[in-house]
Amino acid sequence: MIAEKFAELDLLIEYGVPQKEQKQARELAHTFGHDPLAINIFHSFYSSLPEAVEDCITGLVLLERHQGQMLFLVTTSRSSYFYLANHDHAEYGGSPREGLREDILHFYGFAAQKSFEKKHGDFTGLAPYAPDFITSKVCPVCYCLEGELHEFGCPLEVCPWCEGQLISCPCRFRQLGVNEISTEAQLARLQELAHKKGRIVFDAASQRPAYPTAGDESTETQ
């Protein structure tokens, strides 16, 4: 899926970016060739240009992260915009000029546009998003940072009872005394039990799987 999106970028850039900026646009996209968050943003932006005029992404800044949802400032040759991204897709979220979309504001715990602006200022001087954000200290599935708990249900979370994979080892059934888990209440109960036992935080060195890269066709089907 990500490999496909990455492959489509070339054509999207040809149609969406002014001729003289296409080389720059492609180079930036390639810098992030292994980063699903960035690829999803590039793909979303170039598939549906926010102002329906040719434009070129010049940089990304990560502003907020919560429950695997990342809020980015996307700077372009013409302007800048907000995009909400996760490992599976990205969507337009407003612009510094018009304000951040209200549901996104609330999702990140800001009561109003003013409190968001207060935290981030005028968005100048912020460190650019680096591609290695995704290759080293971040869970590639739920995007928790090293030392943090995974989002409950993340396939990389290690089982605190057997040290297997929490979403697939038998411990969850044993702990709940059931043969299948089908309700939210059961999941909440399991989370509570795992918490009591001592949930295992993300450790990049031991838990990071070999992650399919954008150029690796053998690992991507569909």
Q: What is the contact surface with Zn ion in residues (CB under 5 A)?
A: 139, 141-142, 150, 154, 156, 159, 161-162, 164, 169, 171
> Which residues are within 8 A (CB) of 211 and not within 5 positions of it... i.e. 6 or more apart?
34, 140
Residue 208: partners with Cβ closer than 8 Å, 6 or more residues away: 139, 140, 156
CB contact at 8 A, 95 and 79: yes
Of 80 and 165, CB closest to Zn ion: 165
Considering the complex, state which of residue 126 and residue 200 has its C-beta at the smaller distance from Zn ion: 200
Q: How far is the CB of 155 from Zn ion (least distance, A)?
A: 7
177: left (phi over 0), alpha (psi -120 to 50) or beta: left
Closest approach, Cβ 107 to Zn ion, in A, equals 19
C-alpha 189/C-alpha 175 separation (Å) is 9
Given a contact cutoff of 8 angstroms between Cβ atoms, the answer to whether 204 and 146 are in contact is yes
CB 187 to Zn ion: min, Å: 15
Nearer to Zn ion, 114 or 197 (CB): 197
CB of 43 or CB of 150, closer to Zn ion: 150
CB of 202 to Zn ion, least distance (A): 6
* Nearest distance in Å: CB 221, Zn ion: 22
User: Please, which residue, 31 or 168, has the CB nearer to Zn ion?
Assistant: 168
Compute how many other C-beta atoms are within 10 angstroms of the C-beta atom of residue 3: 20
**2-16 and 22-31 helices, crossing angle to 10°:** 160
User: Tokens at residue 109, please?
Assistant: 């715990």
